[in-house]
Amino acid sequence: MRLLDGTATVDDLDSFLATLDDAAEATGTTIQAFDADYVVSEAHLERALDRADRAIARGENVARERAVEVLCYAAGRRQINRALAMGVSEGENRVVVLVDAPDGDETAEAEAVERLRGHVDPAPVLGEYDEATVRSFFDVNDAERDAIEGSLPDLILERVALLDVQK
């Protein structure tokens, strides 16, 4: 798995998503773009990818496409339409783009990242999430936040892992 983080100006969402799809198809990779405000860490996306692959292997996936299944796990939701809020939108975006070759082909991943560099201006935005956005999106209230010993990212990783239990 490789991550490309930075900013992207999305004038036309369909066109931007087509660019991601074209790069994925050309390289045999899975590509998913996330709004960086919702991504708490690299581990967040690693766990989502792992859980999505496990669901697909078991035939328990809710999405037809691997990239969308990863999005659902990262969002901690089984409803695709609700998970889409974690994706990019039109306008100026702080983004984290996940690129993964299912067969572990690092050359293909590197090629996909290179194809996307013209669409994402590199900047260190991974892990610079918006706490209020994350708490609202993942329904983390004050009582729950006060009751846990770990950090907010730890709680989100737990939410991703627990999605399998909610099926």
Predicted pLDDT of residue 140: 87
Predicted pLDDT of residue 155: 84
Here the CATH number for the domain that contains residue 58 is: 3.30.2380.10
Predicted pLDDT of residue 145: 76
Tokens of 22: 């074209």
Inside any domain, residue 167: no
pTM to 2 decimals? 0.91
pLDDT averages per 10-residue partition of the chain, 167 residues? 97 96 98 97 96 94 95 93 94 97 95 96 94 91 76 85 66
Predicted pLDDT of residue 164: 67
DSSP secondary structure, the chain, as one string? -EEEEEEEEES-HHHHHHHHHHHHHHHT-EEEEEEGGG---HHHHHHHHHHHHHHHHHT--SSSSHHHHHHHHHHT-S-HHHHGGGS--SEEEEEEEEEE-TT--HHHHHHHHHHHTTTSEE---TT---HHHHHHHTT--HHHHHH-SS-HHHHHHHHHHHTTTT-
Query: Domain residues for 38?
Result: 2-162
Number of structural domains the chain divides into: 1
Cβ atoms of residues 101 and 24 within 8 Å: no
